Amino acid sequence: MAENNALADDVVALADRFGVNFPREFYGHVCGRFPGIFVEVIEEVWPRPKVFDVGPFWSFLYGLHTFTPCSDSEDWMRLDYVTYRFQESTGHKAAPILQIVGDADLFCVTSEGAIARYRHETNELEQETLGFWGIFEREVRELKDRKDRKDRKVAGI
């Protein structure tokens, strides 16, 4: 890899290794300037939950991230590490590509190249109709909506 950037050949090798087909849009994302992304509402605006905090499920979902093929990334964000663990624990031939922080469900690609949402409670893959960027945009919009809802709650509105 050159200068922390993933090469298409690196992603193809991961796809072959794990028996999945990444969509073209995903290659565009991880082989671009930023081979993965982490987006979160800053802690001053959205304080992080503490042990034993209770609240509506949405109130713990303060960020999202994609997974990266770069081997020098943190394990929790590395496509190879996360895919290996995912396939071992679920039995699904799929690779995680996007996760909402605090949510055990995540978005994956399948051996057919479809994007599906993994439902951890049922161990099922639920096919998505949107492409990678459509899902990414929807989830960023929903993150903003949750932040606004949290702001309204804090303000007592």
Q: Is the dihedral of CA 45, 47, 48, 54 positive or negative?
A: negative
Q: Tell me what pLDDT residue 2 has.
A: 42
More confident residue, 157 or 14: 14
What are the DSSP calls for 81-116, one per residue? HHHHHHHHHH---EEEEEEETT-S-EEEEETTS-EE
Tell me the pTM: 0.86
Q: Tell me what pLDDT residue 157 has.
A: 67
Average pLDDT, the chain: 90
Please write the tens of the pLDDT for every residue from 133-143.
999 999 999 99
More confident residue, 73 or 3: 73
Residue ranges per structural domain of the chain: 8-43+57-155
CATH number of this structure's domain 8-43+57-155, picked from the four choices 1.10.287, 3.30.160, 3.40.1580, 3.40.50: 3.40.1580
Would you say residue 1 has pLDDT above 80? no
Would you say residue 119 has pLDDT above 90? yes
Please write the tens of the pLDDT for every residue from 22-60.
999 999 899 988 788 999 988 888 888 888 888 888 888
Range 68-90 average pLDDT: 94
Tell me the two tokens of residue 118: 């993994």
For residue 81, give the H/E element and its range. Answer: helix 79-90
More confident residue, 3 or 35: 35
What span, in angstroms and rounded, lies between the C-alpha atoms of 99 and 102?
9
What span, in angstroms and rounded, lies between the C-alpha atoms of 43 and 115?
31
